[in-house]
Amino acid sequence: MIDWHSALNPAQLEAVFYRAGPLLVVAGPGTGKTRVLTYRIGYLIDAGIARPDQILAITFTNQAAREMSGRISKILESSEVDSRPGIATFHGWALGLLKKRLGREARLLIDEMDAIGICRDAVRDLGLSLARAQGIYRRISQAKQYWPPRIDKGLEAVYHAYHLILKEYGLWDYDDLILEVLRLFEDEKFRAEFHTEVPFVLIDEFQDVSPAQYCLVKAMVKRDGDITVIGDPNQSIYGFRGADPGSMQQFSIDFKGVKTVILDTAYRSPQAFLDAAKGVARIKGICLKSKRRHIHRLEIRSFKGPGAEAKWVARTIEQIVGGLSFDSLNNGTARGSNLRGLSDVAVLFRFRALGTQIAKALASQGIPFQRADDPDPLAQEELCSIWRVWEAVKGRGIQYHLKRMPGNDDLWHKRIQDLRSSPEASDGPRLLSSIIEMLGLDPNRPVLRALQRTVERYPEEDSLAVLIRTESDILDLNIEAVSLLSIHAAKGLEFPVVFMIGCEDGIIPWKEADPDEERRLFYVGLTRASEKIYLTHVRCRRLFGQEMDAGPSPFISDIPEGLLVRAQGHRPKRARKPRQGRLF
């Protein structure tokens, strides 16, 4: 028996039990968003309202999908349900649906790296050699965030050339998945069938859906259907991808009789952090109330340059995990030991480049850390070649992969044909060894051995890309290491101690970005912390060869002064110099 009432607060209960059509849940940071989603799914199943296969929950990342699956399994431990609800990202779900629906007609999904490569080809074919493929790809992708795609005049030629190549090789890029599914849904009959088969839809992080995804949501669910969307307009930080903080409001207009539930009890952040964040994001109306009683302040420090900033961050982390409690750090009175581990600490920044210096400083202090922006393992040449041969052997995009293999096309063609007709084609581990041998790689290299083990562990997994990426999964929060993250990447995560570095005008807000979105980004950063926040800025930073010395971020002055502690970056100069002169 599940004890709903002790697991959920009244607002959460209202959301979980609501049964009369479209539901909009506005959930501030740390108010139990995932909790509501998982319990709602659990309730639908446990109460016999829905069969698991009638439920589809869409999350923002694969990681979130995995986490939610795990939590639902836990909730349903005691109930006798054998199947599990569908939980996936938009893209993951779309790909599955397309494969099921189109069978052999389904195309091969390529990643961004390959898509940029194809853009390059398209640009070359058009004789526009000066244009930059990466920029073009970004613009094409931008256009495909809308339905129908918004192709501006200057882009038309490359856009069509790019898609012609995709078609020729039978490929889809990630954005195509959404658009192709939208195409499926244009068929009345298909739509009606879907409405009957999957009548319960839940969407997480709704403030960040793209316009095309929004259209898809409208197609997936009837206007008065059983849809739950949950999100926080103040955490909408993907405007560059077309997301619009107004989409939550729009939901109330587009769906019929929408019920709105507001979750305003925050379990993560202390009130001071919420108030500070609120000041920056200029939030009116909804007021989050913290359940955490302690008095906390945000500490601000100023440094001469990035080097000093990084060094200080490293030293402070060392102190924190060295066993000093926060209270003793703050006011000099040691009160018990709040021992902290490295995984309790995150360093957040506006963009990658800022993380590099911190990484260096941590490395030189011997502090273990992990970065969320580690490069895609498939970008490594060997792994990429292995993946290409694997895919070709599986019959996916043969022509395409052949073109991209180093060396002679015909030779590879023959080798791949041989492999395809041999028995190991359907035996993952054996296929992998053959490919490694064929490529002349040393099978004893640690990366390849790790890959071999992974393939053995998941013999039913057909996609090597999935295996490679799962293994080197971006961020493992259980590892004892400091997390270095962009603020974007930190969305949805929580850490006791958060450092936000580079709080300077021109960095956050980034000078070319939408200032309101930058405010929301700062809001997201501040609401990641549950115990301690350090904000740092430097007086002079060199970025892209240019000196930046515009002063601290204007957002800092939007934080009520009473919530701040201003501390010197290092020993004050004025005190030291004259004394030294006199004494020595």
Alpha-carbon distance 372 to 368, whole Å? Answer: 14
Alpha-carbon distance 345 to 340, whole Å? Answer: 8
Q: Does 132 bind DNA (CB under 7 A)?
A: yes
Q: Does 350 bind DNA (CB under 7 A)?
A: yes
Q: Which is nearer to DNA, 262 or 543 (CB)?
A: 543
Nearest to 537 by CA among 361, 281, 300, 357: 300
Out of 207, 343, 486, 553, the residue judged to bind DNA by CB under 7 A: 486
Q: Which is nearer to DNA, 8 or 482 (CB)?
A: 482
Quote the tokens at residue 192: 């009606």
Contact region for DNA (CB under 7 A) — 32-40, 129-137, 282-290, 422-430? Answer: 129-137
Out of 264, 318, 327, 373, the residue judged to bind DNA by CB under 7 A: 373
Q: Which is nearer to DNA, 39 or 159 (CB)?
A: 159
Q: Does 63 bind DNA (CB under 7 A)?
A: yes
CB of 352 to DNA, least distance (A): 3
Q: Does 360 bind DNA (CB under 7 A)?
A: no
CB of 226 to DNA, least distance (A): 25
Contact region for DNA (CB under 7 A) — 126-134, 259-267, 324-332, 377-385? Answer: 126-134
Alpha-carbon distance 552 to 555, whole Å? Answer: 8
Q: Does 89 bind DNA (CB under 7 A)?
A: yes
Under rule CB under 7 A, how many of the chain's residues touch DNA?
43
100-119 footprint of DNA as x/- string (CB under 7 A):
-----------xx-------
Q: Tell me whether the omega of the peptide bond preceding residue 509 falls within 30 degrees of 0, making it cis.
A: yes
Q: Does 92 bind DNA (CB under 7 A)?
A: yes
CB of 99 to DNA, least distance (A): 13
Q: Does 62 bind DNA (CB under 7 A)?
A: yes
Beta carbons of 37 and 201 less than 8 angstroms apart: no
Q: Does 489 bind DNA (CB under 7 A)?
A: yes
Nearest to 212 by CA among 238, 194, 192, 189: 238
395-434 footprint of DNA as x/- string (CB under 7 A):
------------x---------------------------
Beta carbons of 309 and 303 less than 8 angstroms apart: yes
Q: Does 473 bind DNA (CB under 7 A)?
A: no
Q: Does 129 bind DNA (CB under 7 A)?
A: yes
Q: Does 91 bind DNA (CB under 7 A)?
A: yes
Nearest to 430 by CA among 455, 405, 449: 455
CA dihedral 221, 227, 231, 232 (to 10 degrees): 90
Out of 332, 336, 423, 545, the residue judged to bind DNA by CB under 7 A: 545
Contact region for DNA (CB under 7 A) — 151-159, 335-343, 446-454, 505-513? Answer: 505-513
CB of 510 to DNA, least distance (A): 4
Beta strand 564-568 pairing with 298-303: parallel
Task: Return the bridge partners of 260, or none.
Answer: 24
Beta carbons of 266 and 289 less than 8 angstroms apart: yes
Q: Does 133 bind DNA (CB under 7 A)?
A: yes
Helices and strands: H and E segment counts in the chain: 25, 19
Q: Does 135 bind DNA (CB under 7 A)?
A: yes
DSSP sequence for 2-61: --HHHHS-HHHHHHHH--SS-EEEEE-TTS-HHHHHHHHHHHHHHTTSS-GGGEEEEESS
Alpha-carbon distance 252 to 285, whole Å? Answer: 18
CB of 116 to DNA, least distance (A): 7
205 Ramachandran zone, left/alpha/beta (phi>0; psi -120 to 50): left
CB of 216 to DNA, least distance (A): 14
- Distance from the Cα of residue 257 to its chain's centroid: 32
Q: Does 19 bind DNA (CB under 7 A)?
A: no
Q: Does 351 bind DNA (CB under 7 A)?
A: yes
Out of 17, 18, 146, 174, the residue judged to bind DNA by CB under 7 A: 174
CB of 60 to DNA, least distance (A): 6
Q: Does 447 bind DNA (CB under 7 A)?
A: no
* Three-class HEC string of 350-411: CCHHHHHHHHHHHHHCCCCEEECCCCCHHHCHHHHHHHHHHHHHCCCCHHHHHHHCCCCHHH
Residues in 506-525 that interact with DNA by CB under 7 A: 510, 512-513
Out of 105, 153, 366, 544, the residue judged to bind DNA by CB under 7 A: 544
Out of 150, 404, 488, 539, the residue judged to bind DNA by CB under 7 A: 488
Q: Which residue has the tokens 């990035």?
A: 306
CB of 486 to DNA, least distance (A): 3
Out of 33, 35, 40, 120, the residue judged to bind DNA by CB under 7 A: 120
Quote the tokens at residue 376: 């895609």
* Stretch (H or E) spanning 260: strand 259-263
220-249 footprint of DNA as x/- string (CB under 7 A):
------------------x-xx--------
Alpha-carbon distance 264 to 286, whole Å? Answer: 8
Question: Which residues, 6 or more positions from 567, have their beta carbon under 8 angstroms from its beta carbon?
Answer: 299, 300, 301
Q: Which is nearer to DNA, 285 or 545 (CB)?
A: 545
Q: Does 372 bind DNA (CB under 7 A)?
A: yes
Alpha-carbon distance 29 to 14, whole Å? Answer: 19
Out of 73, 78, 134, 364, the residue judged to bind DNA by CB under 7 A: 134
Contact region for DNA (CB under 7 A) — 61-69, 194-202, 331-339, 438-446? Answer: 61-69
Residues in 523-542 that interact with DNA by CB under 7 A: 542
- CB-CB neighbours of 301 under 10 Å: 23
Alpha-carbon distance 427 to 433, whole Å? Answer: 10
CB of 482 to DNA, least distance (A): 17
Cα-based distances in Å from 106 to 12, 180, 193, 197, 388: 41, 10, 20, 22, 18
Nearest to 41 by CA among 89, 74, 90, 6: 74
List interacting residues with DNA (CB under 7 A): 60-63, 89, 91-92, 95, 111-112, 120, 123-124, 129-130, 132-135, 138, 141, 174-175, 238, 240-241, 350-353, 372-373, 407, 474, 486, 488-489, 510, 512-513, 542, 544-545
